[in-house]
Structure 1
Amino acid sequence: MKFGAGYTREHADNDSARAVTRPTFSFDSVFDFAADRPSTEAQIAVDPRTGRAPDSIKRLHRTQSVAAFVQDEWKLRPNLTVSAGLRYEGFLNIYDASDDIMTNIEFPNATGNLRNDVASAHMVQRKYYLDGGLWGGGQHTLAPRLSFAWDPTKKGQMSIRGGVGRFY
C-alpha cells in the first residue's frame, strides 16, 4: 500500500497595464477602416476617475492547495495486476496579497440574450479571501482511480495497460 500528501503555495504577480493601454480595433471592411469606423474595440482599460489608461493594474494573486492519496496494488494472476486508489484535492480560494478590493461584473439574470444580460449587470467589489472570495470556501474533491496492467504473452515481453479515474 502507498500513501502520500502534498501542499502547494502558488504566487502569480501580474501587471496587465501594458496589455490594456494599446487597444485592438476591428473593422467590417477596408472602407470602414479608411473612414475610421471600427465595429469593435477591445483590450482598453480606462480609469473612470481620470479618463486615462491606468499606470498599473498590478495583482498579487496567491492560492494554496493540499492533496493526499492512498493506493494499493493486487496481482490477480502472474500476468495481471490491478491498482486502485483514492486522491483528495483541496483547492483553496485565490486572494490578492496587496489586500486590494477586486471589482467584478456580475450578471445575475444571465439568459443568453446579450442585451438583457448587459442591462442586468452590476459591479461587485469583494476580497478574494477564503469563505468570502470568488469561489466561496474553495473546492474540495475526491478522485477515485482504477487501473490494470496485463501481459497477454505471459513472458514479460508485452504489456497492455489501461485505467480510469477522475483527475483535477
Structure 2
Amino acid sequence: MTSTDAQLLDTLAPLLAAESNAEAPAAGVEAGDLEQAVWLRLLERLQDDEAPTHPADWLRRAVRAEARRARRAALRERPYLGEEAAEPDDSPESSALVAERRRVVRAAVRRTPGHCPRLLTAMLDPADPTYREIAGELGISQGSLGPMRSRCLGCLRRMLAAEVPASTLRGRVR
C-alpha cells in the first residue's frame, strides 16, 4: 500500500463511519460490520491497483450496496430452531429430562381412546406430514381431521395434567 493509499484511507474513515451509521439500522446489521465490509472492498480494489476515481462517491455507493446485500441475506437466512435451540443446556441432566418428557407423552398417546393413538402418532411424526397425508394414512376425510385432532389433544392434555401436576398456581410455586 502506498502512502497515497494510506492518506486516502485516513480521509475516507470519517465519511465511511457516518455512512455506515446511517445505513446500518435499515439494513439490520451493526454499523461496524457494514464498515468492515466496505473497507474490505476498498482494500481489494487498491490491491488490484483500481483506486476509485471519485472515492467519496464510490464509498457511498459501496455502503449502500453492502447494506442491500445485508438486507437480502437477512430475508433469505433463517435461524435453525431445532432441538438444540429448544434446549440450550447440553448437560446429561437436560438430555435425560427431555427423553423422559418424550417418553411420558408417547406413553400417554398410546393410552388415548379410539383413533387418537394413530392420529397423534401421525402428527408427532418427525417427517411432519400434511393433513392430506395423515387423512390418507388413517383412511378418514381431511375435513374431520381438525375436530378429531382437537378432541384427541384435549384428551391427551387431561391425561397429562392428571399425571404431572402444575408447578405454579397463579404465579405462586407449590
Scaled to the shorter chain, the TM-score interval is under 0.3
TM-score (norm 2): 0.24
* Higher share in strand: 1
TM-score (norm 1): 0.24
Determine which structure has greater relative contact order: mean sequence separation of CA pairs < 8 Å that are 6+ residues apart, divided by chain length.
1
Report the structure number with the largest CA radius of gyration: 2
* Higher share in helix: 2
